[in-house]
């Protein structure tokens, strides 16, 4: 193992490295913590044993690039979507299927019970129903679906589009009529780029092209808009307590505290250190650490305790393209601008 250039009070040891053929932003751990799946813009992808780093299987190839990956909650099925307009399903037992849906498959999200996979493909919402292997096209939305998220308290999937979030009830046993109207809409005149629902199901946050965050309290009519970012917001991440919302859109990471009455009137935390726009960020799934990356560095923070940076990794032979915590919350999955995939074990410095 190679010791990373991370500084106290946390250090990182490299566990394993692989290489895809081009830019890699999407790497995710399986819910059972045993596997990591990664897919790059070169169109290739792999499923790796999280501990040993051994390649377990190839992800179905998506010529022109893999844009999205999602593990089913039972870790049995990996869904992948690409610029080729195909959503592919790789089953743990080796079974595979591929469905042509058209458009760029930018977003995939499994329902909490794992029975329904929601697919954002261009302007169309599709769902794949696992129990009867049924694929349903819910018809075109008014604009391209940029992100998807399931509500926590109701069986609704939210679609981020231009004009707001459109919530559909697609998880029920009955087939959903194509072209059906949304069950709810959260309106906002602007182009939504990413969507995050807080783990407690209380909030939905969108990052927007016009350099704002829009925050809705689900399900009443309360909404807030956070302005003042220098650039569009392409990444938001909730912490496990649903109290902190981290966002990019600047060289600083901005963290809003939504506890109590909400963030209105509060000044957000500004985590400073990056030297160019933050491209990717993620809170741990259950812990309090936040990882953020620009092309040159990955930085670790614990916003609950303040703005102090806890550690840093410097890019080596290629820039960083994306960072995500593995589901074990100890391993940092790092994608490179030329296709490199690194797994780093993060621990306290002795």
Partner 1 sequence: MQPVPVTVVTGYLGAGKTTLVNRILTEQHGRRVAVIENEFGEVGIDDGLVLDAEEEIFEMNNGCICCTVRGDLIRILGNLLRRRDRFDQILIETTGLADPAPVAQTFFVDEEIAAGTTLDAIITVVDAKHLIAHLDDTKPEGVENEAVEQLAFADRILLNKTDLVTPAQLTEVERRIRDINAVASIIHTVNADVDLDHILDVGAFDLSRAMSEDPDFLDEDAEHLHDTSVTSVGFVVDGDLDLRQLNDWLGELLATRGVDIFRSKGIFAIGGERNRVVFQGVHMLFDSTDGRPWEPNEPRHSKLVFIGRNLDRDELRAGVEACRIEVAA
| Dihedral sign, Cα of residue 262, residue 215, residue 79, residue 63 | negative
Among 38, 41, 86, 269, binds partner 1 (CB under 8 A): 41
Which of 111/141 has CB closer to partner 1?
A: 141
Q: Quote the least distance from Cβ 18 to partner 1, whole Å.
A: 19
CA distance 217 to 154: 14
According to DSSP, residue 234 is labeled -
- The answer to whether 84 contacts partner 1 (rule: CB under 8 A) is yes
- The answer to whether 63 contacts partner 1 (rule: CB under 8 A) is yes
- The answer to whether 95 contacts partner 1 (rule: CB under 8 A) is no
Which of 212/237 has CB closer to partner 1?
A: 212
- The answer to whether 122 contacts partner 1 (rule: CB under 8 A) is yes
Backbone angles phi, psi at 284, to 5 degrees: -60, 155
| DSSP character string of 277-340 | ---EEEE-SSSS-EEEE-SSEEEEE-GGG-S-EEEEEE--SS-EEEEEE-TTSSEEEEEETTSE
CA distance 250 to 222: 26
Which of 25/329 has CB closer to partner 1?
A: 25
Applying the rule CB under 8 A, the residues between 21 and 40 that interact with partner 1 are 22-23, 25
Which of 19/232 has CB closer to partner 1?
A: 232
Applying the rule CB under 8 A, the residues between 310 and 329 that interact with partner 1 are 321
Which of 133/225 has CB closer to partner 1?
A: 225
* Residue 292, C-beta contacts closer than 8 angstroms, at least 6 positions apart: 246, 248, 253, 271, 274, 278, 280, 281, 298, 299, 301, 323
Applying the rule CB under 8 A, the residues between 204 and 233 that interact with partner 1 are 209-210, 212, 230-232
Q: Quote the least distance from Cβ 226 to partner 1, whole Å.
A: 13
CA dihedral 153, 154, 155, 157 (to 10 degrees): -90
Which of 64/349 has CB closer to partner 1?
A: 64
Q: Quote the least distance from Cβ 102 to partner 1, whole Å.
A: 10
- The answer to whether 184 contacts partner 1 (rule: CB under 8 A) is no
- The answer to whether 144 contacts partner 1 (rule: CB under 8 A) is yes
| DSSP character string of 152-207 | SSSS-EEEEEEEEEEEE---SSSPPPTTPPPSEEEEEEEEEEEEEE-TTSSEEEEE
Among 12, 27, 77, 104, binds partner 1 (CB under 8 A): 104
Exposure letters 19-35 (e unless 16+ CB within 10 A, then b): ebebbbbbbbbbbebeb
Report yes or no: 26 and 66 within 8 Å, Cβ to Cβ: yes
Among 174, 189, 220, 350, binds partner 1 (CB under 8 A): 189
Beta strands in 72-183 (DSSP E): 77-82, 86-91, 96-100, 105-110, 116-121, 124-129, 134-140, 147-150, 157-168
Nearest to 307 by CA among 257, 265, 245, 255: 255
- The answer to whether 252 contacts partner 1 (rule: CB under 8 A) is no
Which of 217/232 has CB closer to partner 1?
A: 232
Q: Quote the least distance from Cβ 142 to partner 1, whole Å.
A: 10
Which of 198/212 has CB closer to partner 1?
A: 212
Applying the rule CB under 8 A, the residues between 264 and 303 that interact with partner 1 are 277
Residues near partner 1 (CB under 8 A) are 22-23, 25, 41, 63-65, 83-84, 104, 106, 122-123, 143-144, 146, 162, 189-191, 209-210, 212, 230-232, 277, 321, 337
């Amino acid at each position: 193992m190679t010791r990373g250039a991370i500084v106290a009070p946390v250090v990182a040891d490299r566990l394993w490295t692989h290489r895809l053929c081009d830019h890699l932003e999407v790497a995710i751990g399986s819910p059972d913590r045993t596997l990591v799946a990664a897919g790059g813009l070169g169109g290739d992808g792999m499923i790796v044993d999280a501990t040993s780093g051994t390649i377990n299987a190839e992800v179905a190839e998506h010529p022109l690039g893999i844009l999205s990956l999602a593990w089913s909650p039972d870790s049995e099925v990996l869904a992948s979507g690409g610029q080729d307009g195909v959503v592919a399903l790789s089953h743990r037992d080796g079974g595979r299927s591929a469905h042509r849906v058209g458009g760029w498959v930018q977003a995939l999200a499994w329902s909490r019970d794992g029975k329904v996979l929601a697919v954002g493909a261009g302007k169309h919402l599709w769902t794949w129903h696992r129990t009867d292997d049924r694929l349903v096209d819910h018809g075109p939305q008014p604009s391209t679906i940029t992100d998807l998220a399931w509500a926590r308290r109701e069986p609704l999937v939210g679609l981020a589009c231009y004009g707001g979030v459109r919530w559909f009830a697609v998880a029920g046993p009955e087939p959903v009529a194509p072209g059906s109207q949304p069950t709810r809409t959260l309106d906002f005149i602007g182009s939504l780029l990413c969507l995050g629902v807080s783990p407690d199901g209380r909030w939905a946050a969108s990052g927007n092209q016009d350099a704002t965050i829009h925050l809705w309290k689900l399900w009443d009519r309360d909404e807030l808009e956070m302005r003042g970012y220098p650039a569009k917001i392409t990444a938001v991440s909730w912490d496990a307590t649903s109290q902190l919302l981290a966002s990019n859109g600047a060289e600083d990471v901005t963290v809003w505290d939504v506890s109590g009455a909400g963030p209105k009137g509060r000044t957000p935390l500004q985590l400073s250190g990056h030297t160019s726009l933050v491209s990717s960020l993620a809170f741990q799934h259950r812990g309090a650490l936040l990882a953020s990356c620009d092309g040159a560095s990955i930085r670790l923070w614990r916003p609950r305790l303040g703005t102090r940076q806890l550690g840093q990794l410097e890019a080596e032979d290629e820039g960083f393209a994306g960072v995500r915590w593995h589901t074990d919350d100890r391993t940092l999955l790092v994608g490179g601008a030329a296709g490199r995939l690194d797994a780093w074990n993060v621990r306290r410095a002795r």
